[in-house]
Structure 1
Amino acid sequence: MKFTVFLSGLLLLFLLPDWTESVEDTVDIKTLARIINFFEKNYKRVDTDGHPRQYATAINVPKDQCQQNFNLNTFLTQEKAVNVKNAITDETNALYQGEELIAAGTKKQKKYNMHSESLLLNPADISPMSNLLNKRKDGCSVFYTFESPCVNTCLNLSSSHNIINALEKWKEHDGIKAFVFKDFWKFDIKKDLQTAFKQIVAHVPLFRCVSENECYACKGEGNTPIDAHCLPPKEITELTAVTFTSFP
């Protein structure tokens, strides 16, 4: 009996460090809201008429910057907001690469605009994101996209511009990870985002932040469904479906 108790205690000692690390190495949800609010205040793309436009950013910062002792005074001090905004609003390049932050707008091509998520995450092995992650192996990495990744391209493995391969690479990075979005890509509202978003969750935790005080963990691991806060309201989805049917 004593031998059994000793082994159980010994096993607990071996397991405890891993368990403790997994609890600590998660983003603080209130801090995440403050980080996303910082992005929105400093880097958000807005047309002259006030209409917001798509952009994405990613950071790799010391771990404590994503936990409760977040300090705005020491956050991204090497990045000048004006330089970031100038770079991502230039649609011939649309890319900024700094020390702890990368950002992208949309890049004009002959037949289409390259999405900001793809600009930051592709090619997976030599992308701006992979270069950023290599600078700090165990830092807190947060990827934020104003509108959710599009189903037909970003979350489609058949597309040459998909971001799934990059998410697989990101999964290997030590430290805190968070993939965040705010709004839904307007052409995807009536699509199966429950299934689409699970492709993200399979590699990194997914969050939705809608204000400086309001973020949600989207969950979705394994058989767990994506949280309702991270999906379009049912009535909006149904209304959009009717509208698209009425006006082909």
Structure 2
Amino acid sequence: MLWGPVQVPGRMPRAGLLLLPLLLCFRPETVGSINTATLKQIVDHVNEYGVKAQYSFAVSLGQAYCQDGSPRKGLPSKKDLENMKKALNQEDGLYDPDDGRIVAARVKYLNAVAREHSEWRLLHSDQNRKSPVQKLLARTYGQNSCLIFFTLNSPCAGTCLRESGTYNIVDMVSDAFRPISKNYKAFVFQQIYPEGLMPQDLLDAWHRLHDVPLLRCDNNDCRDCSKKDPNINRCLDRR
């Protein structure tokens, strides 16, 4: 008689336990419950109405859409996206409507050297007014929601991520994203802002952003930027 392994009810056989890590390695890449393929679809769809200049947008969607891309009716309407494009085509453009699922901004030039970056314009609030992102969340966000913040160029180390800078967005990003489940939020950029930084210095700056996963979505795919080693971080440009 041939004897096989004794199986205890409710317990996985040893061979299954050995195979589990291998199987996990081949699961589709996700960040929490946001499917990266779906994330690329969302970014690509909105970018069809974007501009060929630095701009940012924040979009509030249903959790189901962030998981598997359905239903499509959860996306911002075509009318909203066309209105966004019209606003962004203006100098210093800002799209901050009273309704809808999306807000967006371009850079605002204050003088020859000073400017309000697009990320800061969407996240900044003061005692007299809420930020566009705060207003977006107030009218759309609930227990079954997902928030994506996109910026064309990665937030720059010299202004957006400068720890003592006037236009620092680090705390504002944390304030906006901290209350949201880690499975349903993402901070996304498409290309790296050219600052001439060494790869490790660039990663150190990016990792000042807390309370939200950072990803890069370009023509290839969407990928996680959390690795601290520049040799294995897939978000860096490779020479």
Match of 2:170 in 1: 164
Q: Which among 26, 34, 48 is matched to residue 27 of structure 1?
A: 34
Aligned partners of 2:55 and 2:151 also within 8 Å:
yes
- Report 1:12-51 matches (<5 A): 26-43=33-50, 45-46=51-52
Task: List per-residue Cα deviations over 1:31-56 (Å, max 9, x = no partner).
Answer: 0010111122122x13xxxxxx1111
Q: Distance in 2 between matches of 1:29 and 1:115?
A: 26
**What is aligned with 1:80?**
80
83-92 vs 71-80, greater mean Cα deviation: 71-80
Quick check: 1:78–1:100 contact (8 Å CA) kept in 2? no
* Distance change (3 Å), C-alpha of 1:131 and 1:80: closer
* Matching of residue 97 in structure 1 with residue 105 in structure 2: no
1:190 to 1:39, Cα distance in 2 relative to 1, 3 A: farther
The number of residue pairs the alignment matches comes to 199
Q: Secondary structure at the match of 2:156?
A: coil
Contact 2:178 2:212 in 1 (8 A): no
Say if 2:236 is the partner of 1:231.
Answer: yes
- Pairwise CA distance, 1:134: 2.1
Structure 2 CA distance for aligned equivalents of residues 162 and 210 of structure 1: 25
Structure-2 separation of matches of 1:199 and 1:82:
34
In structure 2, how many angstroms separate the alpha carbons of the residues matched to 1:59 and 1:84? 12
Per-residue CA deviations over 1:140-191 (Å, capped at 9, x if unaligned) read: 0000001000111100121111111111212322241100001011225546
- The CA RMSD measured in Å over matched residues stands at 2.4
Q: Which runs of 5+ in 2 are unaligned?
A: 1-29
Structure 2 matches for 1:179-198, cutoff 5 A?
Answer: 179-190=187-198, 192-198=201-207
Normalising by structure 1, we get a TM-score of 0.72
CA distance, structure 2, for counterparts of residue 57 and residue 42 of structure 1: 11
> Following the alignment from structure 2 to structure 1, what is the Cα–Cα distance between the partners of residues 31 and 56?
26
**Residue aligning to 1:151:** 157
Give the secondary structure class of the aligned counterpart of 2:207.
helix
- Please name the residue that 1:110 is paired with: 111
Retained in 2: the 8 A contact 1:124–1:169?
Answer: no
Counterpart residue number, 1:15? none
Higher Rg of the two aligned structures: 2
Q: Is the 8 A contact 1:58 1:141 kept in 2?
A: yes
Aligned to 1:56: 56
Which structure shows the higher helix fraction?
1
Following superposition, the deviation at residue 76 of structure 1 comes to 0.8
SS of corresponding position for 1:80: helix
Amino acid paired to 2:105: A
Unaligned runs of 5+ in 1: 1-22, 47-52, 236-248
Instruction: List structure 1 segments (4+ residues) > 6 angstroms apart after TM superposition.
Output: none
Q: Kindly, what percent of the aligned residue pairs are identical?
A: 28
